[in-house]
């Protein structure tokens, strides 16, 4: 069974001893077998199925998530990731045969996926169950020993993960470390074979700096200001509902791929605002602060940060819907702001909450320049039926992922890589991409003792030089010419 490290006694010395134990297990070859990998993946499925209500309760305690949102966006997605890995694992583990060249004839070659070793997963608080275990699935599928550090900002889920993984997983290969800054710092001092971090850019830089001391590769799943471009030639009701689902239906905007702001034309903005008001009232009622379908703000620090964005003088009078707050309950209603200045505070950082600014432009094509003038986002969305505009969007906008005529759903497609670019992240995962991110692609070339050409060895002659040049650029005919001195 996977053990849980007591956070009160966990320091750099404890971390070092833990990593040493895990490396001993990995070096024994235990985690490399197909049987071990599948046993652990099946254990994760069983854990999820047998403790669904406890998981829902922990998520509600940490974020006031509804049971439906918890099931769809965390529990079901996690089970699906496990089942995809179980179904495809033999295929993923199979070496890939590749072609060789005339230079190495006769020979054969393959690419072998091997586990990296002992890896660290540092998780986030906003989807504390899914974002903790989804990378662990990839690490286990690839045959690694793994340490999970859940987020202390979601304490109920962190505690539950520690207990359940302790009960269901292999103690010698899978560990959970609870705690906060001190425990994370102790972990980062160790030498890992890979570090997978989900969170913000500030901590991402700390993780990368710590990893650099050991030349440890990292995956950084960060965030950014994910834009939504809205054209006027659309089904407005469907588009509006999909924007709302991606913004407020995803943890009340506390999601790395939630729409951060909208760009539309000045002429179309009033229609869009009216549609947002109508659909928001349908979804969350006249008093959204009391809606059971909206998550609360995670803690008082984030509540104060979001309040500061609304109190900025530059956005005074820009609220066209919402803006209600209840500090004692850590609730902020869905809030729409129109014609927010681009140099305002709300446009200078990722919002990560229920506030949605709308920027307006004269021509929709100008929106691409607005997006590309800032750091590359984790996701970007467009609603349009204009084929040329779609193609321009895909070719012009650089983001971790794009969705046309919807929001956030690319996250659920396991055949697509999920990850950032630039300041929104490094590396990707989901499906086979998770397996690959925790694997080393080892090149293997096989040769026999036949075909040992003297051209490789001294003494080097003009004839050998002609043959070498022919091998490189002339093909079979060039080699014949070189051998016989033909021009």
Active site residues: 221, 256
Q: Is 113 helix (H, G, I), strand (E, B) or coil?
A: strand
CA-based R_g, the chain, Å: 27
Q: Could you tell me where the beta strands, DSSP code E, fall in 18-63?
A: none
DSSP 362: S
340 CB-contact burial (10 Å; exposed 0-12 / middle 13-18 / buried 19+) = buried
CB 196 within 8 A of CB 142: no
CB 150 within 8 A of CB 166: no
CB 436 within 8 A of CB 96: no
Alpha carbon 142 to its chain's center: 17
CB 201 within 8 A of CB 172: no
Q: Which two tokens stand for residue 476?
A: 């079979």
What is the rounded distance in angstroms from the CA atom of residue 117 to the CA atom of residue 20?
12
CB 428 within 8 A of CB 437: yes
Q: Half-sphere exposure of 31 toward its Cβ, with a 13 Å CA cutoff?
A: 31
Kindly report the number of other CB atoms within 10 A of residue 459's CB atom.
6
Task: List the beta bridge partners of residue 356.
Answer: 336
CB 433 within 8 A of CB 417: yes
CA torsion 37-40-42-43 (nearest 10°) is: 180
What is the rounded distance in angstroms from the CA atom of residue 251 to the CA atom of residue 73?
9
Give which of 78, 217, 90 is closest to 143, Cα–Cα.
90
Helical pair 475-484 and 462-473, crossing angle rounded to 10 deg: 170
Kindly report the number of other CB atoms within 10 A of residue 155's CB atom.
17
Which residues touch 6 (CB under 8 Å, ≥6 apart)?
none
What is the rounded distance in angstroms from the CA atom of residue 18 to the CA atom of residue 26?
12
């Amino acid at each position: 069974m996977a053990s849980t490290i007591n956070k009160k006694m966990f320091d750099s010395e404890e971390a070092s001893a833990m990593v040493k134990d895990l490396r001993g297990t990995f070096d024994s070859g235990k985690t490399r077998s197909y049987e071990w990998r599948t046993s652990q993946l099946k254990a994760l499925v069983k854990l999820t199925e047998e403790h669904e209500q406890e998981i829902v309760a922990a998520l509600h305690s940490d974020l006031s998530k509804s049971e439906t949102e918890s099931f769809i966006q965390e529990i079901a997605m996690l089970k699906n990731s496990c089942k995809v890995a179980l179904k495809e694992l033999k295929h993923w583990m199979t070496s890939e045969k590749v072609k060789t060249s005339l230079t190495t004839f006769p020979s054969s070659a393959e690419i072998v996926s091997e586990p990296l070793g002992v890896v660290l997963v540092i998780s986030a608080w906003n989807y504390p169950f899914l974002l903790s275990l989804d990378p662990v699935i990839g690490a286990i599928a690839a045959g690694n020993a793994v340490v999970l550090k859940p987020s202390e900002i979601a304490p109920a889920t962190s505690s539950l993960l520690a207990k359940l993984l302790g009960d269901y997983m292999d103690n010698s290969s899978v560990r959970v470390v609870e705690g906060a800054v001190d425990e994370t710092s102790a972990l980062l001092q160790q030498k890992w074979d890979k570090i997978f971090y989900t969170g913000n850019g500030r901590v991402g830089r700390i993780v990368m700096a710590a990893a650099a001391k050991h030349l440890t590769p990292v995956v950084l799943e960060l965030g950014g200001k994910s834009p939504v471009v809205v054209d006027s030639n659309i089904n407005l009701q469907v588009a509006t509902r999909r924007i709302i689902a991606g913004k407020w239906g995803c943890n009340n905007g506390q999601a790395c791929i939630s729409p951060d702001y909208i760009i539309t034309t000045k002429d179309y903005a009033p229609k869009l605002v009216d549609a947002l008001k109508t659909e928001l009232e349908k979804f969350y009622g006249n008093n959204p602060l009391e809606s059971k379908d909206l998550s609360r703000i995670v803690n008082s620090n984030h509540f104060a940060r979001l309040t500061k964005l609304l109190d900025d003088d530059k956005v005074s009078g820009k609220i066209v819907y919402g803006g209600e707050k209840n500090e004692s309950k850590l609730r902020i209603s869905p809030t729409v702001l129109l014609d927010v200045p681009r140099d305002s505070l709300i446009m200078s950082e990722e919002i990560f909450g229920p506030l949605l600014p709308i920027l307006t432009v004269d021509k929709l094509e100008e929106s691409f320049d607005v997006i590309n003038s800032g750091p590359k986002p984790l996701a970007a969305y467009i609603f349009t039926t204009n084929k040329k505009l779609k193609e321009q969007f895909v070719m012009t906008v650089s983001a971790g992922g794009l969705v046309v005529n919807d929001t956030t759903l690319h996250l659920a497609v396991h055949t697509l890589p999920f990850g950032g670019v630039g300041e929104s992240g490094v590396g990707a995962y989901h499906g086979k991409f998770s397996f690959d991110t925790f694997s080393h692609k080892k090149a293997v070339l096989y040769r026999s003792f036949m075909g040992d050409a003297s051209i490789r060895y001294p003494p080097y002659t003009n004839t050998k030089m002609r043959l070498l040049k022919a091998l490189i650029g002339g093909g079979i005919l060039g080699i014949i010419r070189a051998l016989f001195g033909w021009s």
